């Protein structure tokens, strides 16, 4: 994927800062707001985002919201009514239906977190519309989860708005087809295949930043099946000094694992910041069987323990001539790399890479626990059994979807 000059990129850490930036941008918008998210929760701080969308629609802007059918199966009745009254157009991507996730094709989820405002300003990252201090399964958190996003101006904004518009119209087409509204369905599918005339507006303020080379990586099940994984492989292969990857759900395929091990063996310092708190059985335990080979090859593994880790970011060689960084929604696991719709922004800029690197190193040194080779090898048998069971179940799930990993 080629990177283009002329982007303004700003790193955003945490939901509070992200929601502040979103609300400010939405309130300054003059023509349209298009938001996609896996989870849209209306608890605590995130209600401010919903209220900003509502205000924008009342001002006469075109406001589209797409949520995922697993992450957000339905909106609260109060907000359904408020959005409908204001004119916020919203839809659910791939609702589960009666059999739910028993049907393997429904494992293909909308996991990306994107927002485009006035065709000029974009947001991309791993942060759901979910309060940092709250988890739907675990309640109030003692510390906020660790996650990142970026705001951006430049060429990638047009690419982002086009892929979002295409998905919107395809969802509308499927909805019309289910109701046997075939002319409307055909029109929606046609609209989704052409460029929409979004108004370019310059009214949304953004801090003046250094111009950076950047690009948008997409993963879908049509034209961009392996784009994100290939970008990681190329960047890991090109790294000569330092690799830091923070990933919430880490179970890379053989090629990525080998690339990391080869990098460590050729003298690159490779550090992984991974989930240290138990969140889900499959994601937590299935990752651990790959630790052994990585540790023996010299890869450092650190488990984040301050709170839940939700970041999906990486930075390589930030202090050298070819810095590379990515911030987005894609984990290095089979659900992200083989099944879900994902989006990452790649940035080749030394100042940005150093900023992200500094924050990740701080989390490694002050908020994480290192996984030692000897200690890991002596894990209790019942934990190793759980790890192998989760790993086997993950492989079985992939087999059922027809994927090899």
Q: Are 67 and 95 in contact (CB under 8 A)?
A: no
Query: pLDDT tens digit string along 3-21?
Result: 999 999 999 999 999 999 9
Does this model's pTM top 0.75? My answer is: yes
Q: Which of 111, 213, 302, 357 is catalytic?
A: 111
Q: Which of 312, 349, 357, 387 is catalytic?
A: 312
Examine the pLDDT at 301 and tell me if it is beyond 70: yes
113 is catalytic: yes
Fold equal for 9-191 and 211-401: yes
Structure tokens that stand for 54 in this block: 């509502």
What number is the average pLDDT over the span 294-299? 97
120 is catalytic: no
Taking each helix axis from N to C end, the angle separating 227-238 and 254-265, rounded to the nearest 10 degrees, works out to 10
Q: Mean pLDDT for the chain?
A: 90
Pick the CATH number of 9-191 from 3.40.47.10, 3.30.870.10, 3.40.50.300, 1.10.3720.10: 3.30.870.10
From the list 222, 223, 163, the residue with the least C-alpha distance to 343 is 163
Fold type of domain 211-401: Endonuclease; Chain A (3.30.870)
310 is catalytic: yes
Query: pLDDT tens digit string along 147-171?
Result: 999 999 999 999 999 999 999 999 9
Tell me, what's the pLDDT at 333? 93
118 is catalytic: yes
Query: pLDDT tens digit string along 63-121?
Result: 999 999 999 999 999 999 999 999 999 999 999 888 888 787 788 999 999 999 999 99
Domain coordinates of the chain in residue numbers? Answer: 9-191, 211-401
Q: Are 53 and 23 in contact (CB under 8 A)?
A: no
Q: Which of 7, 34, 68, 113 is catalytic?
A: 113
Q: Which of 310, 333, 357, 387 is catalytic?
A: 310
Tell me, what's the pLDDT at 377? 84
Radius of gyration, CA atoms only, the chain: 21
350 is catalytic: no
Q: Which of 132, 242, 317, 387 is catalytic?
A: 317
Q: Are 242 and 319 in contact (CB under 8 A)?
A: yes
Q: In sequence order, what are the residues at sequence separation of 6 or more whose Cβ sits closer than 8 angstroms to the Cβ of residue 288?
A: 387, 391
Q: Which of 41, 68, 118, 132 is catalytic?
A: 118
Tell me, what's the pLDDT at 110? 97
262 is catalytic: no
């Amino acid at each position: 994927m080629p990177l283009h000059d002329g982007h303004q990129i700003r790193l955003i850490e945490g939901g509070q800062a992200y929601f502040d930036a979103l609300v400010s941008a939405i309130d300054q918008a003059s023509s349209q707001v298009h938001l996609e998210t896996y989870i849209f929760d209306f608890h605590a701080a995130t209600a401010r985002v919903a209220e900003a969308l509502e205000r924008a629609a009342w001002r006469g802007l075109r406001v589209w919201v797409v949520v995922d059918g697993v992450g957000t199966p339905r909106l609260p009745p109060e907000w359904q009514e408020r959005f409908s009254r204001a004119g916020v157009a919203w839809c659910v991507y791939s609702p589960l239906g009666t059999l739910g996730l028993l049907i393997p094709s429904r494992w293909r989820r909308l996991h990306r977190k994107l927002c485009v405002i006035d065709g000029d300003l974009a947001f991309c990252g791993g942060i759901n519309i979910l309060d940092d201090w709250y988890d739907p399964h675990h309640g109030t958190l003692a510390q906020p989860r660790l996650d990142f996003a970026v705001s951006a101006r430049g060429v990638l904004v047009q690419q982002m708005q086009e892929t979002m518009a295409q998905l919107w119209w395809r969802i509308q087409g499927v909805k019309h087809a289910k109701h046997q509204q075939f002319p409307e369905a055909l029109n929606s599918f046609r609209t989704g295949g052409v460029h929409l005339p979004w108004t370019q507006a310059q009214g949304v303020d953004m801090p003046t930043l250094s111009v950076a080379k950047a690009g948008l990586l997409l993963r879908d099940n049509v034209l961009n099946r392996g784009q994100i994984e290939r970008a990681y492989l190329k960047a890991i292969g090109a790294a000569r000094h330092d690799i830091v990857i923070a990933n919430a759900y880490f179970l890379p395929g053989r090629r990525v694992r080998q690339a990391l091990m080869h990098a460590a063996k050729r003298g690159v310092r490779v550090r992984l910041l991974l989930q240290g708190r138990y969140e889900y059985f499959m994601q937590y335990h299935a990752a651990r069987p790959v630790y052994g080979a990585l540790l023996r090859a010299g890869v450092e593994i650190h488990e984040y323990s301050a709170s839940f880790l939700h970041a999906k970011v990486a930075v390589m060689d930030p202090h050298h001539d070819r810095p590379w960084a990515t911030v987005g929604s894609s984990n290095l696991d089979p659900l992200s790399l083989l099944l879900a719709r994902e989006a990452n922004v790649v940035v080749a800029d030394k100042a940005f890479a150093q900023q992200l690197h500094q924050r990740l190193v701080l989390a490694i040194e002050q908020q994480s626990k290192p996984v030692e080779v000897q200690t890991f090898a002596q894990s209790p048998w019942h934990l190793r059994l759980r790890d192998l069971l989760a790993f086997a179940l993950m492989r079985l799930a992939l087999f059922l979807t027809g994927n090899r990993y």
